[in-house]
Amino acid sequence: MIPLKAENVVSGYNGGWRKKNSFRINIDDFEIESGNFTAILGPNGSGKTTFIKTILDLHFAESGSIRLMGRSHKEKESREQVSYLPEIYSFPDNVTVQKMLIDFGSITNNNKENLKQRIDGLAEALNVDFLTKKVKSLSKGMRQTTALMNTFLGDQQFYILDEPFNGLDAVQKKAVMDYMLKEKEKRHISILITTHILPDIDKICDRIHLIKNGSIVKSANREEIQKSHPSVEEYYIEHFNVAKEQ
């Protein structure tokens, strides 16, 4: 099953009555293949998060079609096998990490024992030793790891990760990437990722899309990029520098 297919999607903000800050994304054709790790890269304000929010129906598309896990993205069933890590999230502060994960996990999973096992498994994979700490006492990196645990808790097939490596140190980042690659091998999961940390993309993504002013301006496989550029970072800088000069 194709996890995501978007065609002729227009979405955006009107930016108040003066429409001074209005912004639109125009995605003509975007597809993620099953078992693929795909990245959307672009400068701040290029429309990455707006596109992701539109896919998940948090932000309404004005036109176009989005198929998520084979269904219209408007249907709640389309999100059964999808899990999302937002860039900005807010968890309840005054509970322990474990309690918070159980609370959120229980929204869609009634089996508490199964949830506890999943949390323990994830804690081991992501080097987490702060399950009994309260969320409010966590550092930025710990919070981000907790948010990632919450995202990976449900064993879904398709993960949408908005800036997943924010605030993570090198060791933690490696643990997260290893986990994702292991799950890819084991369960054939798909991932859509946006990040500013470009060296990480080299290691995990199969396909890269560059987005600018709300439109996908270039798409390539990792192998194609590796043939023409020393790294994804070089590819990105070259493209956006040229674009800036023009």
Q: What does the binding site for another protein look like in residue numbers (CB under 8 A)?
A: 13, 53, 56-60, 76-80, 82-84, 86, 88-92, 94-95, 103-104, 106-108, 150
Closest approach, Cβ 190 to another protein, in A, equals 16
CA 158 to chain centre: 10
Name the residue nearer to another protein (CB basis): 37 or 84. Answer: 84
Measured from the CB atom, the residue of 41 and 61 that comes closer to another protein is: 61
Residue 69 · residue 81 · CB < 8 Å: yes
Q: Which is nearer to another protein, 109 or 219 (CB)?
A: 109
User: Torsion angle of alpha carbons 71, 33, 175, 109, nearest 10°?
Assistant: 20
Least separation in angstroms between residue 125's CB and another protein is 21
Shortest spacing between CB 89 and another protein, in angstroms: 5
Nearer to another protein, 38 or 150 (CB): 150
**Order of all β-strands in the sheet with 4-13:** 23-32, 4-13, 61-68, 71-72
Q: How far, in Å, CA of 125 to CA of 53, rounded?
A: 28
**What's the rounded Cα separation, in Å, for the pair 24 and 21?**
10
Least distance to another protein, CB of residue 108, Å: 5
The set of residues, in sequence order, having a beta carbon less than 8 Å from that of 90 and lying 6+ positions away, is none
- Measured at the CA of 40, the angle between CA 36 and CA 43, to 5 degrees, comes to 165
Tokens representing 205 are: 């993504």
- Closest approach of another protein to the CB of residue 81, in Å: 9
Q: Give the residue with the Cβ less far from another protein, 19 or 182.
A: 19
